[in-house]
Amino acid sequence: MEQPAAEPPSRNVAEWTIGVVGAGTMGSGIAQMAAGAGHRVMVTDASAESLESARDRLKKTTAGLVKKGRLDAETSRLLDELITWAPGAAGEYALFRHCDLVIEAVVEDLAIKRDVFRRLEAAVSPKCLLASNTSSLAITAIAGACKKPERVIGLHFFNPVPVMQLVEVIPGLLTSPDVVNQAEELMSAWGKTTVRSADTPGFIVNRIARPFYGEALRLFEESIAGKSTIDWAMRELAGFRMGPFELMDLIGNDVNFAVTRSIFDGMHQDPRYRPSITQQRLVEAGFFGRKTGRGHYDYAEGATRPEPDREASRGGQIVDRIVAMLINEAADAVYWKVASGADIETAMTKGVNYPRGLLEWGNQIGAGVVLQRLHSLQELYGDDRAGPHMRKFGIKYAALHPRHLMVREAFAKVKNLDDWRGVLIQWYADDLPGCYPDPAIHRGADCEEAA
Ligand X SMILES: NC(=O)c1ccc[n+]([C@@H]2O[C@H](COP(=O)([O-])OP(=O)(O)OC[C@H]3O[C@@H](n4cnc5c(N)ncnc54)[C@H](O)[C@@H]3O)[C@@H](O)[C@H]2O)c1
Catalytic site positions: 135, 156, 168, 206
User: Are 323 and 348 contacting, i.e. CB atoms less than 8 angstroms apart?
Assistant: no
**Which residue, 105, 112, 113, 137, is CA-closest to 266?**
137
Separation of alpha carbons 121 and 108, rounded Å: 19
What are φ and ψ of residue 103, in 5° steps?
Answer: -105, 125
**For residue 419, what is the DSSP state?**
G
Here the contacts of 130-135 (C-beta below 8 Å, separation 24 or greater) are 130/101, 130/102, 130/104, 131/101, 131/102, 131/103, 131/104, 131/155, 131/183, 132/103, 132/104, 133/26, 133/27, 133/30, 133/103, 133/104, 133/105, 133/157, 134/104, 134/108, 135/108, 135/203, 135/206, 135/259
CB 304 within 8 A of CB 228: no
Phi, psi at residue 139, to the nearest 5°? -65, -40
For ligand X, which is the closer residue by CB, 50 or 378? 50
Query: Does residue 253 belong to the site contacting ligand X (CB under 6 A)?
Result: no
Closest distance to ligand X from the beta carbon of 291 (Å): 12
DSSP-derived letter for residue 135 is S
In angstroms, what is the minimal distance from the CB of 26 to ligand X? Answer: 3
d(CA 363, CA 327): 9
Q: Quick check: 184 binds ligand X (CB under 6 A)?
A: no
* Residues 381, 274: Cα–Cα separation, whole Å: 14
Between 108 and 431, name the residue whose CB sits nearer to ligand X: 108
Least gap, CB of 448 to ligand X (angstroms): 37
Q: Provide the minimum distance between the beta carbon of 45 and ligand X in the complex, in angstroms, as a whole number.
A: 4
Of 6 and 155, nearer to ligand X (C-beta) is 155
Question: Least distance (Å) from ligand X to the CB of residue 137?
Answer: 7
Closest CA to 331 of 381, 376, 373: 373
Cβ-contact 167, 193 below 8 angstroms? yes
- Contact between 414 and ligand X by CB under 6 A: the answer reads no
CB of 90 to ligand X, least distance (A): 11
Residue with smaller CB distance to ligand X, 13 or 105: 105
Choose, by CB under 6 A, the member of 27, 87, 154, 357 that binds ligand X.
Answer: 27
Q: Which of 159, 165, 181, 188 binds ligand X (CB under 6 A)?
A: 159
Please tell me whether residue 405 binds ligand X under the rule CB under 6 A. Answer: no
Among 24, 38, 266, 271, indicate the residue that binds ligand X (CB under 6 A): 24
Asked whether position 200 contacts ligand X by CB under 6 A, the answer is no
Which residue in 326, 318, 352, 321 sits closest to 230, CA to CA? 318
Helices 210-221 and 277-285: crossing angle in degrees, nearest 10, is: 90
Q: Which is it for strands 17-21 and 40-44: parallel, antiparallel or unpaired?
A: parallel
Residues 28-87 that bind ligand X (CB under 6 A): 45-47, 50
Q: Pick one of 135, 176, 262, 378: the residue that binds ligand X (CB under 6 A).
A: 135
- For ligand X, the binding residues in 87-106 under the rule CB under 6 A are 105-106
Give 279 or 378: the residue with its C-beta nearer to ligand X.
Answer: 279
By the rule CB under 6 A, 107 interacts with ligand X: yes
Counting residues that bind ligand X (by CB under 6 A) gives 23
Residue placing its CB nearer to ligand X in the complex, 23 or 216:
23
Q: How far is the CB of 29 from ligand X (least distance, A)?
A: 8
Counting contacts by CB under 6 A, is residue 205 touching ligand X? no
- Specify the residue, 106 or 187, whose C-beta has the smaller distance to ligand X: 106
Can you give the binding site for ligand X, defined by CB under 6 A?
21-27, 45-47, 50, 105-108, 112, 116, 133-135, 157-159
